[in-house]
Amino acid sequence: MRPYASVTLLLHLLPFLSTCFSSEEYEFRALLSVRSSISDPLNVLSSWSNSTTSFCNWHGITCDGNSTSHVSIVRLSAKNLSGSLPFVLFSLPFIHTLDLSSNGFSGGIPPEAFSNLSSSLRYLNLTNNHLSGPIPLRSNGPNKIINSSLEILDLSNNYFTGGVPDGISDDFPRLKVLDLGGNSLRGPIPSSISKLRTLEFLTLASNELVGRIPPELGEITTLRFIYVGYNNLSGEIPPEIGNLTALNHLDLVYNNLTGEIPGSIRNLHKLRYLFLYQNRLSGPIPPSIYNLTDLISLDLSENDLTGEISEEVIKLENLEVLQLFSNRLEGTIPRSIAALPRLQVLQLWSNRLSGEIPADLGRGNNLTVLDLSSNNLTGGVPEHLCYSRRLVKLILFSNFLEGEIPGGLSGCRSLERVRIENNRLSGEIPPEFTKLPLVYYLDASGNGFSGRIDGRSWEMPALQMLSLARNDLAGPLPDSFGSGSIKNLDLSENHFSGGIPAGFGRFSELARLKLSKNQLSGPIPEAIAECKKLVSLDVSKNQLSGEIPAGLSDLPVLTELDLSENRFSGEIPQDLGKTGTLVFVNFSHNHFHGSLPATGAFLSANASSIAGNPGLCGGTARSGLPPCTAAVEKTPCRFSVFFPMAVLLILMLSVLLFLLIRRRRREHIYLKKVEINGNGVWEVRVFDEKASKGITANALSTSIKEGKFAVHDGAGDGMLFAVRNATDIPRIGWAEVTEMGRFRHRNVVGLAGACRSETSWVLIYEPVNGGRSLSVALTELSWEKRCRVAVGIARALHCLHLRGMLLHGSLTADNNVVLDGDGVARLLVNLFPPGIEEGKGAEYTEKSDVYSFGVLLVGLLTGRCHVDAEAGKHGGVVEWARHLYSECHLDTWIDPAMRGQHAEYRDEMIRTMELAVRCTSVDPMERPCMKEVVKVLVKSIEKPGPWISKIKRALPI
Ligand SMILES: *[C@@H]1O[C@H](CO)[C@@H](O)[C@H](O)[C@H]1NC(C)=O
Ligand SMILES: *[C@@H]1O[C@H](CO)[C@@H](O)[C@H](O)[C@H]1NC(C)=O
Ligand SMILES: *[C@@H]1O[C@H](CO)[C@@H](O)[C@H](O)[C@H]1NC(C)=O
Ligand SMILES: *[C@@H]1O[C@H](CO)[C@@H](O)[C@H](O)[C@H]1NC(C)=O
């Protein structure tokens, strides 16, 4: 109760106050008290003052318009407000609408706040805040809500805990809209909810609710929208749901519902959206579903449904989306599907469907997405799938389809994703098919395609992934695919001949290259070493020769290197053993000679991965090689370190200095203007008197002169200076610096002061006692401590974002994260955006910070904070982590310093990596916002949440 004490007091005083003043006077004072009680960084409430204008003209306030004006509407959505909720607004005597959504209000709602709710309030919207604690409703006792006329209550997307309140129908009998989604509510859905006899919209989605869907729900015949997905509800779908004849939208996804879909569903004549995916529903698709002729979208995917899809599907003539994937459906795809005029999305993958794909599919539809993969389909690929000219995804892999790629498809320029692998397709790849402008993913592997792929034009500017593996293709390799963004190239198991084209060195995004099992000859071109993001290189089982290019040892994120069964010769470069990222090597059956490195990946290399090289010697005991006659120096090297160097001069220059208090001089800089030893006149502002005592003009001038980066690693009054050339950052002024100066957060190193001369800015951060950079401290940190670092930094970023502040660049364990003496992680915020030279004119957004945070998470998980292909860009590390995460066992990527903690925390670690992968999505839209990151981190560390499976679903097939 303590946090609410002042609020509670105020609420008790309210009745008293309102009898002392006229109502208008009371409203006026109440509004003023709101302004003074909440944090308003954007000053949106500046008009809320006791000047002469009527409060009816204040920002966000609307009065009822009568001559005796009273506040009827308060709308303050998305205004960056924070602090405790201003409960006085709840009880304004004439208030009708109160919208405080999308702010940073935090804390709980005390019972008094609801029991004093104004009886005139109809609309209360508190969505998207940081509210927590239980929803304080109870139908009897001292806090009973009297005579509420509330119709719309939106408490979604907060951190409310406890259960769905049992008394909600007594407290708010007139509710039409109830949204409690996106909280952490537990327990069952109370059957008393059925007493809400006027309810139209019910959202309880994304909570942790358990138990059955109460059959009594069927009594709320006014319901038009039910959204209770993403919970842990179990049992059967109650047949009473069929009584909800006004229902437009039914969404029960991601629960553990069992049993059959009730036949009573036939009565839902107005149903347009039916989403039951990701449950454990069994039995057939009830025939009554085909009577729901208003259906626009039907998704029953990821259940245990059996039986066939009926030809009656033709009755669903409004259907736009039909998703039945991952069930156990059998029989053929009904031919009548091809006659659904509005059908855009058809996903039937992972069933047991057989027979041919309807020959007319596409012609009578409006297809954009077609996924029939992983069935037993036979026959040819229909000619007209792209008849709509809008087909974006064509996914037919793992069937028994045969014949050629039809002409109607090869010029389908809307295509973006094509997966036709593992069928029996044959013939040449049509020339038009290699000129599709939007295709980023093309997998035609595991078919019988033949002919050559060189000597034609490849114009696929969007291509990122190309696999033609396991076909009968022959001839030389083309040296370009018309794409600068290719990441994954697999041409293995064909009959390609000739050399590896040097043009591959221009694939600057390439992460995986697989050319194994061909007839390639000649050397590996030196140019391959230009592919700085290469993670995996497999050229095994060819006739390649020559030496290993020295540049391979410099590839910063190389993890797998397979050169086996070729004719390579020469020595294995000792430097390869120093490549910290290399995990897997196979050099077997070549003509290598000399001593095998005994470090890095070669430590764990077993005999079979180097066998068949009679000239090799040395290595570790496991290698089974004879010792080399000449002693070879073995330097153990755990992992190599790449220092981002030159960039530092241009980037923000961080200088950490020791300033011993005793040697401090007298000339403290509290002054507005000071002259500093030959460095001109400076304007100085001090934000924290105490912390800034250590700043002396002398220290300042040293920092400006030295301008070099140093990590403070001991005790004492460490103070950090950031120096920046003022002409590079014309848009930064005292306003921005002062805002940062006022900002205080447990996980952020505050600004003690700042100075500006004509040419330079210097930011002075408060000293961090016993501070060490995260990268220095990392190896000693347990998993739990790393989690605390992650959560702390995430919270700090979230708060910065709420105030519109950004990091302006990367977040690295070297530069921006300091652990203080208490082990608390503190973020050093770089206020200065990089200059035009290195910033590429980049627009920094919240989503770039999320990316940077993802990179930090990768560092915390893998211990590889330093590995950095090009300073400021982390594509390599991210790609590397992504690869290991998707392909390899946790043991291969987790920081070796945390070995021993795997067993206990493995799920947490995997979930955290999953989050890191999301944060570093190439597409900023796919990255979560910091608020969600905090929520996910806290949840995933506390206990497994349902979000993990949500992400799985979002992954493209
Ligand atoms: C505003 O309020 C303060 C303190 O309540 C008072 O001293 C001042 O006179 C008021 N100003 C006006 C314009 O009402
Ligand atoms: C305006 O005042 C009249 C009488 O005072 C009242 O009946 C009416 O409801 C008021 N209008 C509004 C919009 O509140
Ligand atoms: C609440 O406010 C948000 C905007 O912040 C809006 O999107 C949402 O629809 C509102 N809820 C209701 C029930 O009106
Ligand atoms: C509601 O549905 C159930 C089961 O389908 C049925 O037995 C009952 O009669 C229905 N109630 C009303 C009021 O229609």
* DSSP 8-state symbol, 748: B
Any idea which residue has 């910091």 for tokens?
Answer: 930
Nearest CA to ligand 4 atom 1: 240
Give, for ligand 2, the residue of 27, 62, 64 to mutate: max count of ligand atoms closer than 8 Å to Cβ. 64
Q: Is the Cβ atom of 127 under 6 angstroms away from ligand 3?
A: yes
Inform me whether the pLDDT recorded for 875 exceeds 70. Answer: no
pLDDT > 70: percent of the chain: 82
Cα of 257 vs centre of ligand 4, distance in Å, is 21
Q: What pLDDT score was predicted for residue 776?
A: 82
Which is more confident, 769 or 100?
100
Q: Is the Cβ atom of 245 under 6 angstroms away from ligand 1?
A: no
Q: What pLDDT score was predicted for residue 727?
A: 67
Q: What pLDDT score was predicted for residue 822?
A: 81
Mean pLDDT comparison of 172-181, 790-799, 837-846, highest-scoring range:
172-181
Which of the four pLDDT bands, split at 50, 70 and 90, describes residue 579? confident
Q: Is the Cβ atom of 264 under 6 angstroms away from ligand 4?
A: yes
Q: What pLDDT score was predicted for residue 534?
A: 92
Inform me whether the pLDDT recorded for 446 exceeds 70. Answer: yes
**Arithmetic mean of pLDDT, 729-758:** 78
Q: Is the Cβ atom of 50 under 6 angstroms away from ligand 1?
A: yes
Q: Which of 15-29, 421-435, 516-530, 788-802 has the lowest mean pLDDT?
A: 15-29
Inform me whether the pLDDT recorded for 693 exceeds 80. Answer: no
Which of the four pLDDT bands, split at 50, 70 and 90, describes residue 698? low
Q: Is the Cβ atom of 102 under 6 angstroms away from ligand 3?
A: yes
Which of the four pLDDT bands, split at 50, 70 and 90, describes residue 138? low
The SS3 of residue 693 is helix
Cα 884 from Cα 876, distance rounded (Å): 12
Give the number of the atom of ligand 2 that is nearest the alpha carbon of residue 94: 14
Instruction: Let me know: does 854 contact 916? Beta carbons within 8 Å.
Output: yes
**Arithmetic mean of pLDDT, 464-475:** 96
Inform me whether the pLDDT recorded for 672 exceeds 80. Answer: no
Q: Which of 235-249, 316-330, 490-504, 791-805 has the lowest mean pLDDT?
A: 791-805
Domains and CATH numbers, the chain: 404-498 (3.80.10.10), 525-623 (3.80.10.10), 663-767 (3.30.200.20), 770-957 (1.10.510.10)
Beta strand ranges found along 757-891 (DSSP E): 760-765, 772-773, 817-819, 825-827
Q: Which of 266-270, 505-509, 611-615 has the lowest mean pLDDT?
A: 611-615
Cα of 374 vs centre of ligand 3, distance in Å, is 41
Q: At what angle do helices 875-887 and 846-862 cross, to 10 degrees?
A: 60
Any idea which residue has 């969505």 for tokens?
Answer: 127
CA nearest to 552, candidates 486, 500, 505: 505
Inform me whether the pLDDT recorded for 817 exceeds 90. Answer: no
Q: Around Cβ 906, how many Cβ atoms within 10 Å?
A: 13
Mean pLDDT comparison of 464-478, 543-557, 650-664, highest-scoring range:
464-478
Cα of 739 vs centre of ligand 1, distance in Å, is 28
Q: What pLDDT score was predicted for residue 443?
A: 96
Q: What pLDDT score was predicted for residue 566?
A: 96
Q: Is the Cβ atom of 77 under 6 angstroms away from ligand 3?
A: yes
Cα of 251 vs centre of ligand 3, distance in Å, is 19
Give the number of the atom of ligand 2 that is nearest the alpha carbon of residue 72: 14
Give, for ligand 1, the residue of 28, 50, 51 to mutate: max count of ligand atoms closer than 8 Å to Cβ. 50
Cα of 240 vs centre of ligand 4, distance in Å, is 6
Which of the four pLDDT bands, split at 50, 70 and 90, describes residue 644? very low
Cα 679–682–687 angle (5° rounding)?
Answer: 135
Cα 503 from Cα 205, distance rounded (Å): 52
Which of the four pLDDT bands, split at 50, 70 and 90, describes residue 201? very high
Which is more confident, 579 or 678?
579
Which of the four pLDDT bands, split at 50, 70 and 90, describes residue 670? very low
Cα 776 from Cα 78, distance rounded (Å): 40
Average pLDDT of the residues of the chain: 82
Enter the pTM of the model: 0.69
CA nearest to 833, candidates 871, 867, 805: 805
Inform me whether the pLDDT recorded for 671 exceeds 80. Answer: no
Bridge partner list, 740: none
Instruction: Let me know: does 260 contact 283? Beta carbons within 8 Å.
Output: yes
Residues ≥6 apart with Cβ < 8 Å to 932: none
